């Protein structure tokens, strides 16, 4: 599995169930990278998408403990076991975990590649992604030029897991 995350200088990813910032170039890269792929997200991450709806041209899977949750255009699963059963029909490299904090924490051990949009600015975040620079299981394998959005500098990073035990 892959994951895609935008994080600030302290690996913050959100505040009060909202994204910290929306960077147009990052959004475009995300849409290009995930077109035709499988997105795995939580209910709160779904709410941050345009109109709070699943993205078109993708298979959307929402992992939620709310058994009453129904999402038009998405498959809703309630446990990791259900999720993994659902994912068996897709190639591992086509699956992207896209948030939020709880979903990242649950699924990071199963991911092999992390696509990170890393900003040099620190926000007042209360949702965080694990610091991959301090995790010996992850190695930075590619980085982009630095871009700016107003006064925020950011770059696109690719991390790969150095050790991986199949689950």
68-98 pLDDT, tens per residue?
Answer: 999 999 999 999 999 999 999 999 999 999 9
Question: 167 pLDDT band (50/70/90 cuts)?
Answer: very low
User: For residues 97 and 109, is the Cβ–Cβ distance under 8 A?
Assistant: no
133 inside domain: yes
For residue 165, pLDDT beyond 80: no
For residue 166, pLDDT beyond 60: no
Which ranges in the chain belong to alpha helices (H)?
A: 24-34, 43-47, 80-87, 101-107
pTM of the predicted protein model: 0.94
Tally of structural domains, the chain: 1
84 inside domain: yes
Cα–Cα distances in Å, from 67 out to 35, 43, 71, 79, 152?
28, 12, 11, 10, 40
95 inside domain: yes
Query: In angstroms, what is the C-alpha Rg of the chain?
Result: 15
Per-residue pLDDT, averaged over 60-73, amounts to 96
Q: What CATH number should be reported for the domain holding residue 81?
A: 3.40.430.10
90 inside domain: yes
For residue 161, pLDDT beyond 50: yes
9 inside domain: yes
166 inside domain: no
Phi, psi of 122 (to 5 degrees): -105, 130
Question: 28 pLDDT band (50/70/90 cuts)?
Answer: very high
Domain holding 14, by residue range, is 2-161
110-156 pLDDT, tens per residue?
Answer: 999 999 999 999 999 999 999 999 999 999 999 999 999 999 999 99
**DSSP label at residue 162:** S
50 inside domain: yes
Per-residue pLDDT, averaged over 93-108, amounts to 97
DSSP 61-82: EEE-S-TT---TTSEEE-SHHH
167 inside domain: no
């Amino acid at each position: 599995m892959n994951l895609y995350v935008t994080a600030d200088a302290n690996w913050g990813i959100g505040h009060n169930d909202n994204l910290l910032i929306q960077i147009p170039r990052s959004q475009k890269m995300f849409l290009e990278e995930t077109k035709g792929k499988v997105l795995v997200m939580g209910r709160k991450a779904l709410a941050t998408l345009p109109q709070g709806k699943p993205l078109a041209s993708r298979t959307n899977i929402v992992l939620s403990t709310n058994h009453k949750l129904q999402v038009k255009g998405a498959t809703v699963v309630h446990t990791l076991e259900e999720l993994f059963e659902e994912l068996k029909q897709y190639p591992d490299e086509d699956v992207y975990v896209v948030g939020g904090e709880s979903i990242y924490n649950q699924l990071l051990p199963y991911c092999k590649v992390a696509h990170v949009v890393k900003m040099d600015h620190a926000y007042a975040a209360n949702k965080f992604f694990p610091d991959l620079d301090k995790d010996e299981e992850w190695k930075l394998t590619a980085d982009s030029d630095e871009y700016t959005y107003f006064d925020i500098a950011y770059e696109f990073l690719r991390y790969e897991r150095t050790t991986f035990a199949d689950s």
